[in-house]
Amino acid sequence: MSSRTLTAPLQQTMTPKDGVIIRTENLWKTYDMGAVQVHALCDVSFDIERGEYVAIMGPSGSGKSTLMNLIGCLDTPTQGKYWLNGRLVSELSDDELAYIRNKEIGFVFQTFNLLSRATALHNVELPLIYSGTPAAERLERAREALRKVELGDRMHHKPNELSGGQRQRVAIARALVNEPSIILADEPTGNLDSATGDEIMNLFDRLHQAGNTIVLVTHEHDIAARAHRIIHIRDGKVARDERVK
Amino acid sequence: MRAYHQNFRENLRLALDTLRTHKFRSFLTILGVLIGTTTVIAVASIFAGLDRQVSDAAKDFGTNTLAIFKFTPGFHFRLSREERLRKPLTYEDAVAIKEACPSVESVAVENFLWWGPPPLLKYKGKEVVDYDLSGATAEDFRVTNTNLADGRFFTAVDDAHRRNVAVIGPDIVKRLFDHEDAIGKIIMIGSNAFEVIGTAAPRKAFPGDNSINRWVKIPYLTFKKIYPNERENFILAMAYEGRMAEAKEEISNVLRHRRHVKPAEPDSFGISSAEAFIQQFRQIIGTVVLVTVVISSIGLLVGGIGVMNIMLVSVTERTREIGVRKAIGARRRDITWQFLLEAMTLTGAGGVLGILVGAGISLLIRTLSSFPSSVPLWSVAVGFIIAVSIGLFFGLWPAMKASRLDPIVALRYE
Ligand SMILES: Nc1ncnc2c1ncn2[C@@H]1O[C@H](COP(=O)(O)OP(=O)(O)O)[C@@H](O)[C@H]1O
Ligand SMILES: [Mg+2]
């Protein structure tokens, strides 16, 4: 088996300027539902720079998750271009996409998406397993990530032995562990009560202060207000893009 | 390389974990593979035992001894016209072999009853009906590697004087002389009285042959005197050590000449040896083993389909898990290997259980009977490899299916 060194093609045309991590250009996502075509995203363009703290906000069904999945390389647009760290994502192979999801992106889901049969530690180790990190280093880094989210004393618990907030913190540790360029969170507090949600948001604030780039999807104002920039989405279109801090 | 190794350990861990979580379901799934492997192991051990018996019997018979008869040994379903018209081998043929074959150390002749049951064998009201009676020359005991238990063998002098003396096999001793000394006793062979002068030590039988120790031998000419019409002779020749092939060649030449076989025609007689018998036996066994493997393959195939089914269920159950793994960087081949290894672990476990059960059956046979069954190493390897291959083969499609899942669709799966 090959090691996971990868030489993704650097795009000569439209190479975004230094510091731009994400550039989307006229992104469309259309679902063909037989009789009707649902445009989940229409002509979405924006840049996100390194170190930004961005909230994507909009009502339910406005296309936030769709956008997030495109940014996270889980999905491909119907039309338009998307660069991540200077690479044109639409031209990458399956393996290259897997590599990017592994190394460049840390995804945090509303429903946590932890492996229920694995311990917190093993869940956090997983991205490192897929990047081929040696066992000793892997263990050390997973422990470190769990300590960062203040779960140093819950490493050997399985998800069903943890509270909702703790589960989301395990998921955040998993997103952090491979030191990705960007952390994507799709309604990370959606399944949590407000107090626990605040804790999680404090954690994101800290991660941002520590230099991480964060893109966060929410439909709640208070949550969006934590970010430094809010991109408002309505019916699949960018309605407003404002800097708040 | 390292990444592969890491993933292998992770996948193995996962596979064992799944096996533990679904113990009962896994067990049912691998039942077919288990039974298939058990069959392979048990049958192989039985044939290894048979092979052992044959080799032992052959060694006992003598590795330098050639048996010559007008038919080739083995099964004859139907004799050809040429075969039916073959003349018997004669005493003179034996003499000619002795004289003309430098590689032959000694030659014996046996004359026996071609048709019908032997005459009733009696001693003090005890009777034996099923036994082999033959008239043998004095060299016979040496050539056939017969060991004496008691008394003496008859000699050329006994033969020349047509004496009514007999050497009897150990089973006859048991049947006629419970706790008595057989030597010197007078037995009746039909209406003729014979003095028992020697008893033979038991020898190992070929599988299925229970008459090996149930014989009575009397001098050749004595037999001839009583049964003047028996013309079929069996010639036994002993080659000098290491000169079996030459001896066979020489004997063949002598007999072809004496029986007027034309150069283009095949031998009108058969020369066989223990070695040849073993080869023949192994050929038969090989066929039977092949048939067994084919039959148990059907069982394994059915088991394989069960494995495929359960793997498809497993993939469906874990659609979300697959989505999560892909979302955090698993490649297609990582997912493929995860499920392939799970399938192979499943059937491999079935194989190991099958090997254990098969070995248990073999051990049981060996303890309950005197049959020397033993599990050959190759069958363990073959059984295990087959079991794992079943997992590989039948796990491939479910694993490919899992690896091709779209991460978004998989993550949304409820
Ligand atoms: N797989 C799909 N098939 C058809 N329509 C979809 C699919 N996924 C999303 N949509 C539609 O796209 C729109 C945006 O959905 P989504 O991105 O999930 O919104 P949000 O996350 O903002 O609530 C919705 O109208 C939704 O019904
Ligand atoms: Mg959503």
pLDDT attached to residue A11:
43
Helix residue ranges per DSSP H, chain A? 64-71, 94-103, 120-130, 135-148, 164-176, 194-209, 221-224
- Classify residue B245: in a domain, yes or no: yes
Model pLDDT for residues B72-111, shown as the tens digit of each residue: 776 666 778 888 888 999 999 999 999 999 999 999 999 9
Q: Are residues B53 and B141 in the same domain?
A: no
Q: Which atom of ligand 1 is nearest to the CA of A217?
A: 21
pLDDT band at B194; cut points 50, 70, 90:
very high
Q: CA of A180, closest CA in chain B: separation in Å?
A: 11
Q: Are residues B221 and B125 in the same domain?
A: yes
Helix residue ranges per DSSP H, B235-273? 244-258
- Whether B324 and A115 lie within 8 Å, measured CB to CB: yes
How far does the centroid of ligand 1 lie from the alpha carbon of residue A180, in Å?
26
pLDDT band at B180; cut points 50, 70, 90:
confident
* Nearest alpha carbon to residue B36 among B305, B369, B283, B287: B305
H/E stretch holding B40 reads helix B23-61
pLDDT band at B6; cut points 50, 70, 90:
low
- Classify residue B77: in a domain, yes or no: no
Residue A81: strand pairing partners = A25
Structurally, chain B folds into a number of domains equal to 2
Q: Are residues B150 and B264 in the same domain?
A: yes
Residues 6+ apart with CB under 8 A from B25: B310
> Rounded to whole angstroms, how far apart are CA atoms B345 and B108?
62
Sign of CA dihedral B34, B37, B39, B42: negative
Q: Look at the pTM and tell me if it is higher than 0.80.
A: no
* Nearest alpha carbon to residue B328 among A178, A150, A71, A76: A178
- Classify residue B79: in a domain, yes or no: no
**Burial zone of A241 (CB within 10 Å; 0-12 exposed, 13-18 middle, 19+ buried):** middle
Residues 6+ apart with CB under 8 A from A67: A27, A29, A41, A44, A56, A217, A233
Helix, strand, coil percentages (3-state) for chain B, rounded to 5, are 55, 15, 30
- Classify residue B379: in a domain, yes or no: yes
End residue of a domain, out of B268, B288, B311: B268
Q: Which residue does chain B place closest to A96, by CA atoms?
A: B331
Q: Which residue does chain B place closest to A1, by CA atoms?
A: B1
Q: Are residues B249 and B370 in the same domain?
A: no
SS3 call for A140: helix
Q: Are residues B217 and B336 in the same domain?
A: no
- Classify residue B76: in a domain, yes or no: no
End residue of a domain, out of B216, B245, B268: B268
State the complex-level ipTM: 0.91
Q: What b/e string do you get for B385-400 counting C-beta neighbours within 10 Å, with b at 16 or more?
A: ebbbbbbbbbbbebbe
Q: CA of A124, closest CA in chain B: separation in Å?
A: 10
Q: Which residue does chain A place closest to B18, by CA atoms?
A: A117
Q: Which residues of A touch B (CB under 8 A)?
A: 1-4, 69, 72, 74-75, 94-95, 98-99, 101-103, 107, 109, 113-115, 117, 126-127, 129-135, 174, 178
The phi and psi torsions of B89 (rounded to 5 degrees) equal: -75, 150
Q: Are residues B359 and B321 in the same domain?
A: yes
- Classify residue B134: in a domain, yes or no: yes
Tell the residue number behind the tokens 């050929």, with chain if given.
Answer: B283
Q: Are residues B340 and B254 in the same domain?
A: no
Judge whether residue A14 has pLDDT over 70: no
SS3 per residue for B55-71: HHHHHHHCCCEEEEECC
Could you count the other beta carbons within 10 Å of the beta carbon of residue B12?
15
Model pLDDT for residues A16-44, shown as the tens digit of each residue: 567 899 999 999 999 998 899 999 999 99
Model pLDDT for residues A140-157, shown as the tens digit of each residue: 999 999 999 999 999 999
Q: Which residues of B touch A (CB under 8 A)?
A: 1-4, 6-7, 10, 17, 21, 320-321, 323-334, 407-408, 411
Q: What angle do CA A56, A62, A66 make, to 5 degrees?
A: 70
Q: Are residues B19 and B149 in the same domain?
A: no
- Classify residue B130: in a domain, yes or no: yes
Which residues in chain A have Cβ-Cβ distances shorter than 8 Å to B320?
Answer: 113
Judge whether residue A125 has pLDDT over 70: yes
Judge whether residue A170 has pLDDT over 80: yes
Q: Are residues B100 and B226 in the same domain?
A: yes
List the single residue in A1, A98, A117 with the smallest CB-CB distance to B1: A1
pLDDT attached to residue A6:
45
Model pLDDT for residues B281-328, shown as the tens digit of each residue: 888 888 888 888 788 888 888 889 999 999 999 999 999 999 999 999
Q: CA of A209, closest CA in chain B: separation in Å?
A: 24
Contact predicate B89/B70, CB 8 Å: yes
pLDDT band at B3; cut points 50, 70, 90:
low
- Using CA positions, which residue lies closest to atom 13 of ligand 1? A40
How far does the centroid of ligand 1 lie from the alpha carbon of residue A40, in Å?
6
- Classify residue B66: in a domain, yes or no: no
How far does the centroid of ligand 2 lie from the alpha carbon of residue A123, in Å?
23
Domain ranges, residue B14: 2-57+280-412
- Whether A130 and B2 lie within 8 Å, measured CB to CB: no
Judge whether residue B71 has pLDDT over 50: yes
| Of A182-191, A206-215, B294-303, B337-346, minimum mean pLDDT range | B294-303
Model pLDDT for residues B221-273, shown as the tens digit of each residue: 999 999 999 988 999 999 999 899 999 999 999 999 999 999 988 888 999 88
Q: Are residues B44 and B105 in the same domain?
A: no
pLDDT attached to residue A16:
52
* Nearest alpha carbon to residue B86 among B341, B209, B317, B259: B259
End residue of a domain, out of B217, B244, B268: B268
Tokens describing residue B210: 């229970």
Around ion ligand 2, residues with a beta carbon closer than 5 Å are A 65
Tokens describing residue B222: 């004595």
Q: Are residues B130 and B252 in the same domain?
A: yes
Identify the structural domains of chain A with CATH numbers, from first to last: 52-65+94-243 (3.40.50.300)
Q: Are residues B264 and B301 in the same domain?
A: no
* Nearest alpha carbon to residue A79 among A41, A47, A48: A41
Model pLDDT for residues B198-232, shown as the tens digit of each residue: 999 998 887 777 788 999 999 999 999 999 999 88
